[in-house]
Amino acid sequence: MNLQQILTEAKTLVPPGADITDDMLVLKANQIQRRVYRQLVLPDKVVAFLSTPGIPFYDLPTDCAEDRVKNVMIDNINYPKLSVEENSPPDRFCSVMLNKLYIFPNPSNPVNIFIYYRPRYHDLSASNLSDVPDLSEDYHELLVFGLAQWMAKTQGDIDVANNNQADFDELLMDAKKEFRQMTANRVRVKDRW
């Protein structure tokens, strides 16, 4: 669902008061996204691209914060991620600063670069109602139920607010189970030495 569809569905569940604007709803949707992303352990993402000889800085994906880069592979070689304060760096390393990935040494020929990272959400905007949240589409209804709960609460309709909160909580629990299964370490120790 895009943002317009989410807002329309939430307004169908609980018609908003005259004083509630789309800007207010989008602000609340962003707050709900932040809460959901804090509670879910989402699977890592990977982005691949070719290096450019002579350019050691590369833009990070828009959904990748500097502290969320987990691993960088260049031409099938792991480049350890170092802090910019490192006094004695190894022969090969990468660092992240100012939303750029720095690679040393930069390959002299175009080679594959893979960045493995933990994704983050992006803020939605009332000026772009066709935007789609980063959360899996199966769980876009979390925003619908969260918005409906908030609107009902602001109108003093506690029963409707509680019903939407219950739907939100049930869907969030389902999402937690699904993402936990996708990210769980499934190694079992059968023999002990």
Reported pTM: 0.74
Burial of 12 (C-beta count, 10 Å sphere; 0-12/13-18/19+): exposed
- DSSP element (H, E) containing 139: none
pLDDT tens sequence for the chain (193 residues): 999 999 999 999 999 988 999 999 999 999 999 999 888 877 888 999 999 999 999 999 988 888 889 999 998 899 999 886 777 788 899 999 888 999 999 889 999 999 999 888 889 999 999 999 988 899 999 999 999 999 999 999 999 999 999 999 999 999 999 888 776 554 444 444 4
Domain edges within the chain: 3-42+123-183, 45-117
Q: Which is nearest to 110 in space by CA: 166, 55, 60?
A: 55
